[in-house]
Structure formats: C-alpha cells, structure tokens
A and B are shown apart, each in its own frame.
Chain A
Amino acid sequence: MNFGEKLRKFRQDNNLTQVEFAKQIGVGLKTLSLYENSQRFPRKMETYQKIANVMNCDYNYLLEDTDEFLARVAGEYGQSEARKAKAYTEGLSSLFAGGELSDEDKDAAFQAITKAYWAAKEENKKYGRRKKK
C-alpha cells in the first residue's frame, strides 16, 4: 500500500469527505486529490507530520523506503539533486511494476541502489571543482 492509498483508506474508514479531510490536514482539496492518486507527494516533512497527527500514527508509517531516501538526499544536497535521484527510483519502480520481481528482490535491489548512489557521490567528489573561499 503506498502513501496515497493509505490516505484514502483512512478517509473512507472514518467516513470523511475529501473537503473535510483536506481542511483537517491543512492542504487544499486539489492537493489532497493528487496525493490520493499518487500524482504528487508532500515536499516537506512537516506535512507528513501534520497528516500523521490527524491520523494518529507515527509518520514513519506513511513514508516508503523511497521517500526516506529522497528526503535524505534533499536534506543534504537540495531539491534539484533530489529530483535527479528520484529519476533512479522512478525508473526502478516503473520497471518493477511489471510484477515479475518479488518484493524481497525489490528491497534488495533498492538497498543496493541507495548504497551505489552514496558511493557514486563520494567518488564524484574527486573530480569536482573545489569551492573558492
């Protein structure tokens, strides 16, 4: 179950309309609709925190592995780097959508890719231009 499905399930279990739920978590109606259809994701961790407070759960429950990885990249290198890193995870998930890979294999592949990403970052430091002080 991904982030959007979790939101929708919670909303339907509690008999809330999208308007009411959007007001509670403090986002627009359109935004909530996009969240539920997995077309957009909250940019800030605070939004996750807010939703978790309304839903009465830990915000780690809302996050997927990929979200955590992207949040860490965004924190260390900024949004533009996060967008590039997202391309890797997206390519991965679209490929896995074929459904021939088991969940364990997906996890293993994703772990290896995050590891490779950080190693690549470290490797690239050798070649970059140093900042002038």
Chain B
Amino acid sequence: MSGDYIYDKVQSLIKKHGSRDPEEIIKGEKIMIFPLNDTKGLLGMYQVILRNRTIFISADAGFQRKTVLAHELGHDQLHRNRASHKTWFHETIHRTNNSIYEREANLFAAHLLIDDDEICSLIKDGYCENELAYELQTDINLIKVKISELVRMKLIDIDPYRLSCPNSDFLKDYKPIKESIESI
C-alpha cells in the first residue's frame, strides 16, 4: 500500500466527516467502541465481529486515547478485510508479519491527526520535534512519521539523513495510565 494511497484515504475521510477528530469520525462511520477495563499492557484492538466493525480501547488510555483511536481507525480503513477472525490487531504484541500493517496504521494516524499546512509553517519557523509535539499536542513518534512522509512527498525540504523514523511497533511500549487522584 503506497503512502499516497493512505494520504488520499485520509483526505477523503476528513472531507466526508468535516473533522479531524477520530472520535467524531468513528461515530460517523458507525463503528462500535468497547472499553477494556483494568488492562496493564493492552491499549487497543481492532476486530470485525459478525460484520460489525469493533474497536476496543483501554479505559485508562488517558491522553494517548486520541493516538490509539486514530491508529485503530487506520486498521479499519486500510486492513478491514484482513481483520477477519484469523488476524487480530492490537497494540502490545509485535509480530513480524503484522509490522507492515502497524506501520501503515501509524502513517494513517499521523496524517489524520496532523495538518499539513500547520506543521509546514511551524517547521519553517524552526521548531524542533519536541516543540512540535508540544505545540500540536500530538505524540512525538507520530510527528517523526509525519515529517519523514512529508519529505518523501517533497512538501518540505530537509536532508533525509537528519531524519529519524521510529519503529513500526512504538505503540507497544506505551502503557495505560492509572490516574492517581491523591497525588494532585
């Protein structure tokens, strides 16, 4: 699956729903969301159950919720046929034959959550990756994915050797957060 195909898919989806918010898009696409209670390592899963597209997301995902939802939405748009009962997508186990799918879903999430013009103008102002992540309130790894993709599409001009692209399974290292109210 080429990067351009994924980019077009995201653009048409945004046009269709008039929003970049994954929650709204999921609602508009009539995908079911189910919470996973009390998970330690599992963040999200995607599966088609009896012809119903279903996203499972950890109830403790916290600020990662948007990232995980966008990632699962990527599985929905790009790999729905493969998510029959033979394959499961979820964000803890890295399997070699799944890693290409995870990479594509990450790319989808990066395109969905980050606006082209916004990030381009910020990069021209000289922001570094950490600052970009803070300014756009997005995950740093998604920023890296997005920048390397923008360079490939020749929308911005950066020396390719200066880029750092994360592994396809970076979401694996993320853990659900237990919110401790006492500490505040």
Contacts and interface: CB of A to CB of B under 8 A. Distances in A.
Interface of A: 84, 87-88, 90-92, 95, 98, 100-102, 104-105, 108-109, 111-113, 115-117, 119-121, 123-124
B51 A124 contact: yes
Interface in B102-154: none
B93 interface: yes
What DSSP secondary structure best describes chain B's contact surface?
Answer: loop
B63 interface: no
Given A109-B36, A112-B35, A88 B49 contact: yes
A108 B59 CA distance: 11
A102 to B, nearest CB: 5
A115 B47 CA distance: 13
Contacts of B39: 104-105, 108-109
A117 to B, nearest CB: 6
A105 B41 contact: yes
A116 B93 CA distance: 22
A79 B138 CA distance: 47
A98 B45 CA distance: 16
Contact of B36 (A95, A102, A108): A108
A104 to B, nearest CB: 6
Given A95-B93, A100-B93, A124 B52 contact: yes
Given A88-B49, A119-B32, A123-B52, A104 B38 contact: yes
A101 B93 contact: yes
Interface of B: 32, 34-42, 45, 47, 49-52, 54, 56, 85-88, 90, 92-93, 95
Contacts of A119: 32, 34, 52
Contacts of A91: 85-88
Given A92-B88, A100-B92, A112 B36 contact: yes
A115 B38 contact: no
Given A95-B93, A101-B93, A120 B40 contact: no
Given A105-B39, A109-B42, A87 B85 contact: yes
29 contacts: A88-B85, A91-B85, A92-B88, A95-B90, A95-B93, A98-B93, A98-B95, A100-B41, A100-B93, A101-B41, A101-B92, A101-B93, A104-B38, A105-B36, A105-B40, A105-B41, A105-B42, A109-B56, A111-B37, A112-B34, A112-B37, A113-B49, A113-B56, A115-B34, A116-B34, A117-B50, A119-B34, A120-B32, A124-B50
Contacts of B32: 116, 119-120, 123
